[in-house]
Amino acid sequence: MTFETGKRVERVDLGGVLFQDLSLRDARFQRVSFRGARMRGVELGDVTIDGDIEGLVINGVEVEPLVYAELDRRYPDRVKMRPTDPAGFREGWDVIEQLWDGTVARARQLPPEQLHESVDGEWSFIQTLRHLLFATDSWIGRGILGDPSPWHPLALPWDSMEPIPGVPWDRDVRPTLDEVLALRRDRMATVRRYVENLTEDELDADTTPVDGPGWPPPESFPVRECLLIVYNEEWQHRLYAERDLDLLESQHR
């Protein structure tokens, strides 16, 4: 198998392949799974990795706990994204609302067209907000509240999701910031109402499967898991947005 320098490799299953005497200098990996990979004799320098890290061992040292501890040190509110009881979920949502208020205020200082600008191939600021609509509609509206088709047409799934009947997927539409924020306020208010009335019994319960295709699949899920997914999405994508705003602001100066 030969890949030319500068070409794109997409949707290829390389599971079980041996890579030997291979140069990946300046290569970019997006939405790639390395689960179960084994690397020997690797030269790793000037490498940036963003993603979920589980069980990563480098030179005999388990890295995941070190990374997570450092992230918790840098972002003290991060531990509040792992609540264990209803009061913790309410406190965590307080943090999410406050942090996003600051990020949105920062974004408003930029020209509107920059909010549609992709940074390093990632989603634009408005696309990020649209993805969070999708996450809330999916895991709260469908998963917990039982609406089989809760998605607004502006909701944006992740790029590699396979098409699902009835689920919107329009990456290129360009709504205004205020249009998307109106929807965001509505969805965030839905989460707020739910966690304000959340009880221990509800938190420990499983959802009732919905009918029809969509995301998540028509299965039962722990309510706790559905909420934690939304909290993680809110936390991570705000950090991505802040990172990209740094670059957009530097271009605007």
Domains of the chain, CATH where assigned: 83-252 (1.20.120.450)
Exposure string of 74-108, with b = 16+ CB inside 10 Å and e = fewer, is eeeeeebbebeebebbeebbebbeebbeebbebbe
**Whole-number Å distance between alpha carbons of 193 and 99:** 19
Is the predicted pLDDT of residue 31 greater than 80, yes or no? Answer: no
pLDDT tens string 34-93: 888 888 888 888 888 888 888 899 999 999 999 999 999 999 999 999 999 999 999 999
The H or E element spanning position 58 is strand 57-58
Q: What pLDDT is recorded for position 48?
A: 86
pTM assigned to the model? 0.88
DSSP letter at 206?
B
Report yes or no: 224 and 231 within 8 Å, Cβ to Cβ: no
Q: What pLDDT is recorded for position 1?
A: 59
